[in-house]
Amino acid sequence: MGSGADSNSKHPARADLPIVNCLAAARRAQRRCSRPCDNRHEHQRSEITMNVHLKVQPHHLERGAYLYIRQSSMRQVVENVESARRQYALRGRAVALGWRDEQIIVIDNDQGESGASAAWREGFQRLVSDVGMGHAGIVMGLEVSRLARNNADWQRLLEICALADTLILDEDGVYDPASFNDRLLLGLKGTMSEAELHVIKARLRGGILNKVRRGEFRCLLPTGLVYDHFGNVTLDPDMQVRETIIHFFEMFSRLGSASQTVKVFRNEGLLFPSRLHNGGTLFRPLTASTAMRVLNNPRYAGAYTYGRRQFRRTIDGKKTLRARDIDDWPACIPDAHPGYISWERHQENLKILKANGRGFEAARASIPREGPALLQGRAVCGQCGSHLRVRYAARRGRQEAWYICNRARIYRGEPMCQSIAGPPVDEAIGMLIAEQMTPAAVELVLEVRKEIQARHEEADRLRCRAIERAQTEAELAQRRFMLVDPSNRLVADTLEGEWNEKLRTLASAREERERGREHDQFILDKAVHERLVAMTADFNQLWKDPDTPSRERKRLLAHIIEDVTLLKLPAEGTTKLHVRFKGGKIQTLTTMNPKSSPQQIKTKPSIIELVDRLLDDYIYPEIAEILNEQGHRPGGTARRGCQDARFTPLKVAYLIHEYKLRSRYDRLRQRGMLTRQEAAAHLNISEQTVARWAKFGLITRHAYNGHYSLYEIADGDLPQKQCSRWNPLEDRAAAYRQMQTEPRTSTGEERGVV
């Protein structure tokens, strides 16, 4: 019983055990269900924490923890303080994960830099470098956009972190770039960050462009234009600024060159306004870059424009500017506000600037320059139709011009079309202009005089504006000084110094005006007046005057001649000039091509013929003397410094040898002349006797140079050898000459022997 009872009593207990376990499990489930939602989140965070600790390995903790902090602009750095605090608070996350405080490296030198690129971010470059060298165990950033807004930079960082086994931590957790899932998630975050930046820029850009199309977006205005109280663009109220800019555009219209306009401002002592960053205006000397900027700016023509230049980022992160064509501008609204010139005048200025470029690929007519080439920019090649280029060379102490067409040789390696000397062409054109301009010389004098007077009056008016400005500033400084407390010497001394400086500026402006007026008056009354009177009397003389600048000749030529087509004819030694006038008239001229240097020093053919004739009767010294007496000069007189050269026996010998003329010796031998030895053998006498007979005229001697001669022996009446003791040689010579002059009436036997 007992045993049975014991067994029976234990059996129900064992049978109820599963039920009890089930009830306990149910109660535990009920308790879990009855807990708030925070408990579930705590379980999830605990699981995440467990995963985080599984990712953070001991070898990660041995390396440093890099905390990268960045905000896009300095305004955010100053105003968005909470964002900076959240980023610096990530240090606590690193400490909680096991890093010591001294292992945490904070990189915050990219504050105020955009994350659109890593090129200009030194902190990010340092971070990537340390990760690549294996110094970083983890990289921390509040979010992906803090590290990079460029997906290329972000993917590059992920790749380096995966290779270096470096973790990445943000506000949401810790990621291992070597893990596919984490890498996929990080890549998605980087793409969304870049897309977010694009959306922000698109919104801002869209709003700006919408206002731009209406012409309401306020841009920075150039010097001379300001916004009024209602936001409208008006001309600068400062009269000196306005008149200076007007004078600048008028001067460019007259000269047609930005650099020449700068030179005129410098010579006249005029300054050009320049706007400072604080809104003030400063007058400085005009520079070529400022002149080009003003001429290319359409705002001076009253046009509202936007997007004339396009910004680009290079590989190294630098900004580059690329000018757009007018058709690609987002906005161009002519006559949107008052301007200094018209839109048509602005377009003409742009064409002039483009034509003034130094490129010669396209046909163009450049502005007049300083060189002596009269047809500079107006000479056209008669073979290919392109504009001829001008080349200068210093020869014989003067500058000579050449019109050449070498495009075929430069681009295709072909022979050069033409190379034409400039002086004969310019001389022919000058004579043509003098003939065309003579009837209108008086009217031209009056117009030129009026233009010069107007120019000087305008320059003097601008100087007066500078004096008025200096006077106003001096009076203002004086009032400030008078209002200060005399006992406050520190302020009084400073204001007194400013007053004195303004007074010196005023005195300098007045002196500059006086010097300018004296200079202008001197030019108008002396040089210009005399030149104008000379032009009225004889325009041709003024045109040839060496004091007349070449630029002025070209400017005058531009009003008369459209272009001149040059065609060189080497076979004829001439050049054809087809002149096309502004009114459409065409006239053809012919000029002789200049001789080359060998041709210029070559002796004239007439002199060679004369020397050939003189060789029959004269030797070299006699021929040289005859040529000099007749006024002939050798070809070398064309050389510089040899104008007084004369013929010499050596030069005559050189001509005979160079032109292969028959020598006098050959000519005498052809006429039957004998040498001394031959004459002695023929007369059966000694050579000394031949010389003595020739001296006293018994036989004829003909010199073929200054030292040697040939002897002429007559066919009949030959002299006979006799004793000079009984019949002196002088008597026989006199009798022989008398016999030669008497009429021959007897035969040879009756004459006897001399």
**What is the Cα–Cα distance from 417 to 717, expressed in whole angstroms?**
74
Looking up tokens 């210029």 gives 600
Sole residue written with tokens 């705002």: 299
Residue 558 tokens, joined: 């531009």
Q: Please provide residue 420's backbone torsions phi and psi, each rounded to the nearest 5 degrees.
A: -120, 130
The 3-state secondary structure of 575-640, one letter per residue: EEEEEEECCCCEEEEEEECCCCHHHHCCCCHHHHHHHHHHCCCCCHHHHHHHHHHCCCCCHHHHCC
* Residue 183 near residue 162 (C-beta atoms within 8 A): yes
The answer to whether the CB of 751 falls within 8 A of the CB of 720 is no
> What's the residue count for the chain?
754
Contacts of 306 (CB under 8 A, 6+ apart): 212, 217, 219, 329, 330, 331
Q: Which two tokens stand for residue 690?
A: 């031949």
CA distances to 108, 422, 649 from 575, rounded to whole Å, are: 77, 11, 39
Q: What single-letter amino acid sits at 297?
A: N
- Three-state DSSP at 335 gives coil
Instruction: Spell out the alpha helix ranges (H) of 484-602.
Output: 489-522, 528-537, 539-543, 550-558, 597-600
Backbone angles phi, psi at 346, to 5 degrees: -65, -40
Whole-angstrom CA distances from 436 to 35, 432, 448, 539, 559 are 113, 6, 18, 10, 12
Residue with tokens 């031209």, as numbered in its chain:
444
Q: How far is CA 58 from the centre of its chain?
A: 65
Sorted by sequence, the CB contacts under 8 Å of residue 120 that are 6+ apart come out as 113, 317
Residues tagged active-site: 72
Q: What are the residues facing 568 on neighbouring strands?
A: 575
Distance CA 334, CA 525 (A): 44
- Structure token pair of residue 717: 């009446």
What are the structure tokens assigned to 742, written together? Answer: 């008497």
CA torsion, ordered 8, 9, 10, 13, to nearest 10 deg: 120
Query: Tokens standing for 555?
Result: 């400017």
Instruction: Return the closest-CA partner of residue 498 out of 484, 512, 515.
Output: 484
Q: Which residues on adjacent β-strands are paired with residue 567?
A: 576
Tell me how crowded residue 379 is: count the other CB atoms within 10 A of its CB.
27
Helix (H, G, I), strand (E, B) or coil at 231: coil
CA distance 648 to 320: 73
Burial class of residue 560, CB neighbours in 10 A (0-12, 13-18, 19+): middle
